[in-house]
Amino acid sequence: MLDNFPRGTICIEDIEIGMTRHLMKQVTDRDIELFAEVSTDRNPVHLDDDYAQDTIFEGRIAHGMLTAGLISAVIGEQLPGHGTVYLGQSLKFLAPVRPGDWVRAEVEVMDMDIAKRRVTLKTQCTIGGKPVLKGEAMVLAPSRKFD
C-alpha cells in the first residue's frame, strides 16, 4: 500500500510524538540572490555590503523567509514528507543568518490528531547550536487510507 508514497514519507498512521528530522544547509550568496529574485525582496541589507555595514547587523544577512524555507524543506521532504500540506506556521526570528552560515533546520512532532491527519510540529533553525528561528507548524499528513 505504501508503493504510492516516495521513500522517506511518513504517513499519519506511523508518526509518533517526539519524532524529529533535520537538514543542514550552508546559506550562500547565490541562495540570497536567488531568493531576492524569486520573492522580489531586494532590501539592501540582504544584497549590498556597504549598506548592510551601517545597519544594526553590521553586514549582510539572509532573508528570514529563506531560513524559514529550510523548515518547509524538512516538512515536505522528510517529516511527514511528500504529500504533506502546510496549514500554518508561526515564526520568531532570534538572530541573523549570514552568507556562509551552516543552518540546521529541525522539526519535532509535538501533537497529532490522527482522525483529522493533523500534526503539530515544533520548528527551529540553529547555527552552531544557537537558535536563530523558532516556531510551530500545523500540517496535514499523508495517510495510507487515502492511497
Domain locations along the chain: 13-146
Third-level CATH fold of 13-146: Thiol Ester Dehydrase; Chain A (3.10.129)
State how far the Cα of 15 lies from the Cα of 122, in Å rounded to an integer.
14
Q: What is the largest CA-CA distance in the chain?
A: 57
The pTM (predicted TM-score) of the whole model is 0.92
pLDDT per residue as tens, the chain (147 positions): 344 555 679 999 999 999 999 999 999 999 999 999 999 999 999 999 999 999 999 999 999 999 999 999 999 999 999 999 999 999 999 999 999 999 999 999 999 999 999 999 999 999 999 999 999 999 999 998 865
- Of the candidates 115, 116, 8, 97, the one whose C-alpha atom is nearest the C-alpha of residue 57 is 97
Rounded CA separation 15/141 (Å): 9
| Run of H or E residues at 64 | helix 64-77
